[in-house]
Amino acid sequence: MSLVAGSYERFIWGYSLKKSPSSFTLTPLFSFPSHLSTIKSVDVSGSAAVSGGNDDTIKIYDLSTSSEIGSLHHSSAVSCLSFYTHPSLSFPRNLVSADADGFVSIYDADPFIHLKTVKVHKKGVNSLSIHPSGKLALTVGHDDCLAMVNLVRGRRSFYCRLNKVSSIVQFDRTGDKFFMVVDEKITVHESEEAKLVSELDNGKKVLCAAPGANGILFTGGEDRGIKAWDAGSGKVAYSIDGAHTARVKGIVVLSKNGDDSGEDDPIIVASASSDGVIRIWDVRMINEGKSLPVAEANTKSRLTCLAGSSIKSFR
């Protein structure tokens, strides 16, 4: 398993997460100032990782060699990055990015060739999520709108106004539902017609979210904790109060084999806070009432984002 975090101080941090029979180990792979300004977004798939920053640039990394191998460019700050990886592959098929001017760019991820750039929002894109089929993506922007992008044809296929600016949009693992975040509120929608299924109230502003198995959504934010929401009932399934001593800025759901098919397959949640700490949690221990991290690292920087991959393709 691998994790990559970006920081306000323009540093990129890479870690390898390994499990022994009795413990987890978070081992540093690299850290260096990869951008000219703040890193806004990161993503990982197998041994490939990317970061996007306020310097209008996407940096590409090979985790197997712990090195930067190339870069791509936007006309404004890169706000969102997302790989699409087919379930049968260990390397991503596509990379989709979005920027502060409202554009979405589509790339072939092998070997990172630009395919199409589409104007999707009138203002900057806040969040991007690719459907599990890889055929479409949802975006939300500063223009108070939700949009759908047809990734096959390379065009915007749907656009509607929301009541407020949404900061996060995220498909669940099946693609049958999606989540939207507005401040402390999380709404759950059916994907086909965007019908509202339920509304969740976190109490304080939500800053990050990641889907788990069986309709669970993990969130973190201003309350410094981690919540696992049951999207069906709209209630908190379990939570880690005081998971960090600062705001939770990134959250990633990992499992040993990259899926949740095995009964003995531990579900691992990684979280990152604005004070530089990355922590690893074993969901089985949380369910048993033990809310201590199984591993952690302190980057001593102001972390802004976190991404990870459970696909083992290096080291």
Backbone phi, psi, residue 166, to 5°:
-95, 135
Band the pLDDT of 1: cuts 50, 70, 90: confident
How far apart (Å, rounded) are the C-alpha atoms in residues 150 and 154?
Answer: 6
Question: In a 3-state reduction of DSSP, which class is residue 286?
Answer: helix
DSSP for 11-54 reads: EEEEEEEEE-SS-EEEEEEEEEE-SSS-EEEEEEETTEEEEEET
How would you class 66 by CB atoms within 10 Å of its CB: exposed for 0-12, middle for 13-18, buried for 19 or more? middle
Question: In a 3-state reduction of DSSP, which class is residue 285?
Answer: helix
Residue 311 has a pLDDT of 62
How far apart (Å, rounded) are the C-alpha atoms in residues 7 and 33?
Answer: 9
Query: pLDDT of 130-152, one tens digit each?
Result: 999 999 999 999 999 999 999 99
Contact 53, 37 (CB under 8 A): yes
pLDDT surpasses 90 at 303: yes
CA-closest candidate to residue 255, choices 17, 9, 8: 17
How would you class 134 by CB atoms within 10 Å of its CB: exposed for 0-12, middle for 13-18, buried for 19 or more? middle
Residues 6+ apart with CB under 8 A from 50: 42, 43, 44, 58, 59, 60, 61, 81, 83, 95
How far apart (Å, rounded) are the C-alpha atoms in residues 41 and 98?
Answer: 10
Structural tokens at position 219: 């969130």
Residue 265 has a pLDDT of 54
Band the pLDDT of 263: cuts 50, 70, 90: very low
Within 13 A of 179's CA, how many CA atoms are on the CB side?
Answer: 30
Residues 6+ apart with CB under 8 A from 224: 242, 243, 244, 245, 246, 247, 248, 273
Q: Averaged over 22-39, what is the pLDDT?
A: 93
Band the pLDDT of 23: cuts 50, 70, 90: confident
How does the average pLDDT of the chain come out, rounded? 92
How far apart (Å, rounded) are the C-alpha atoms in residues 301 and 303?
Answer: 6
Question: In a 3-state reduction of DSSP, which class is residue 284?
Answer: helix
pLDDT surpasses 80 at 220: yes
Query: pLDDT of 160-188, one tens digit each?
Result: 999 999 999 999 999 999 999 999 999 99
| Pairing outcome for strands 168-171 and 2-7 | unpaired
pTM of the full structure: 0.93
Residue 146 has a pLDDT of 98
Length of the chain: 315
Residue 45 has a pLDDT of 93
Residue 283 parent element (H or E): helix 283-287
Q: Averaged over 218-226, what is the pLDDT?
A: 97
Query: pLDDT of 61-98, one tens digit each?
Result: 999 999 999 999 999 999 999 999 988 887 899 999 99
